[in-house]
Amino acid sequence: MFGIKTALFIISCFVVQVYSKTTVMVVLGCAIQDVQQERVSAALNYADSIEDSEIVWFVTGGVKNAVIATEAEQMKEKITGSKGKIVLDNKAKNTAENFAYLKKWISESYDDAESVDIVVTTSDFHQERAAKIFKGIFSNNASKLDWNLSISEGCAHCWSDEKIHMQNVAIDVKNAVRILA
């Protein structure tokens, strides 16, 4: 009898939270530190509102402009300690590659990719282009997609730069799809 009570006590001390769904919090990197911080802050605020879902952080961005740490590594440092596990994508060099590596990771990590909720955090000026690229990479294969936008005050020229980048969406998607092959 002593053994059964001890076993029940030990089992009752180890309650494991089982979630019925997973929310992948995607945070798109940025070489501009102020903009990157705005995105991380917005993502952390959003994650605090999520209940009844396992959170997996997918922070994405490679090395640009001779920075020693990748954008993903920099963001990981800022979100370490928040709820959920962290997955780094250090390879992506642009938004299309961010989403291609995300799609590849989801397909390798989950049996039913459509059961995963995706929240993409990016800047307000970047959302239109990011949405077009996401659609080109995922081809509507995501079960639920939500956009979490940071209000960008850290980049005066980003809105005008984005107009130039919009012209390259089709080419960027075409090149990034090769990652999935």
Q: pLDDT tens digits, residue range 15-61?
A: 455 567 899 999 999 988 899 999 999 999 999 999 888 999 999 99
How many Cβ atoms are within 10 Å of 113's Cβ, its own excluded? 16
pLDDT of residue 160: 86
- DSSP secondary structure letter of residue 115: G
Rounded to whole angstroms, how far apart are CA atoms 69 and 62? 8
| pLDDT tens, position by position, 71-87 | 999 999 999 888 889 99
Mean pLDDT across the chain: 86
pLDDT of residue 113: 75
pLDDT of residue 83: 84
CATH class for the domain made up of 18-180: alpha beta
pLDDT band for position 64 (cuts 50, 70, 90): low
Rounded to whole angstroms, how far apart are CA atoms 59 and 90? 8
Q: Between 64 and 39, whose confidence is greater? A: 39
pLDDT band for position 12 (cuts 50, 70, 90): very low
Please say whether the beta carbons of 41 and 150 come within 8 A: yes
Q: Is the pLDDT of residue 127 over 90?
A: yes
